[in-house]
Chain A
Amino acid sequence: MSLQFPFEYERISPTETLFYPMVTFQIKTVAGWWKMKFLLDTGADFTTLPDSLLPIIGVNPGSLPKVETIGVGGIIVPVRRFRLPLRVGNEELVIQANAVETRGKFSPALLGKKDLFESKFSLTIDSKARLTRIWKN
């Protein structure tokens, strides 16, 4: 199985763009499987999502263990560890993920390495073709 996702990019000046390697997977919500875009973040150990996602997947945040993670600059980020049902192409799996306490504010969906790129899948960020490739090992 091989999946390809075109880069998304933002032009912030006539000569400068920012690109985002976004990938689209499906998450299991209370209303069935839904497509969701994640930013590929190879610097993230765990897939990280806002805590506002938890009601969507039918999880009570109060039931989840609270842990501390460390962000850039040594900032401590409180998160709740949970298991996220995910579909990568046709492959269904459950990955460990973190829900960030956002207090109603925005927090992006980041795809981390755990349970995905340790052994199950491989990836290439192809800057020539301007797409991200993910395939099952």
Chain B
Amino acid sequence: MRTTHGINITALTKKYGNQYIAKSEKTGKVLAHNERVDLVFNKVKDKKNIVISWIPKYGTTYVFTISL
């Protein structure tokens, strides 16, 4: 069974918390960041091998429950 230690995003949460980032899959470099995901996308839309993710704010606990 595959096991991992998980991915430590502490440095990302301190630097980019409560924002979306666009990260290169190849280099791991953050190429764009913003609270608005469309502004992140517009900055990198001509690039390849990008992952867009949201970064939690450092030290914040979240409770998300949205029901109809």
Chain A residues proximal to chain B, CB less than 8 Å: 4, 6-12, 18-20, 22, 24, 29-31, 34-37, 39, 41, 43-46, 48-50, 52-56, 67, 69-72, 77, 79, 98, 102, 104-106, 108-110, 112, 128-131
A10 touches B9 (CB 8 A): yes
Give Cα A12 to B57, complex, Å.
11
Indicate which residue in B10, B19, B51, B64 contacts A110 across the interface (CB closer than 8 Å).
B64
Chain B residues proximal to chain A, CB less than 8 Å: 1-10, 13, 18-20, 25, 35-39, 41, 45-46, 50-54, 56, 58-59, 61-68
Q: What are the nearest 5 A-B pairs in CB distance?
A: A37-B53, A43-B65, A7-B6, A106-B35, A6-B4
A44 touches B3 (CB 8 A): no
Give Cα A128 to B25, complex, Å.
26
For the A-B complex, the count of residue pairs with Cβ-Cβ distances under 8 Å equals 138
Q: Which residues of B contact A46 (CB under 8 A)?
A: 66, 68
Nearest-CB residue, chain B, relative to A16: B59
A20 touches B56 (CB 8 A): yes
B53 touches A36 (CB 8 A): yes
Q: Which residues of A contact B53 (CB under 8 A)?
A: 22, 24, 36-37, 109
Give Cα A9 to B5, complex, Å.
9
22 A-B contact pairs sorted by A residue (CB < 8 Å): A7-B7, A8-B9, A10-B8, A20-B56, A24-B51, A29-B41, A31-B41, A31-B45, A35-B52, A36-B53, A43-B64, A43-B65, A45-B68, A54-B38, A70-B68, A71-B64, A72-B63, A98-B66, A106-B19, A108-B62, A109-B37, A131-B3
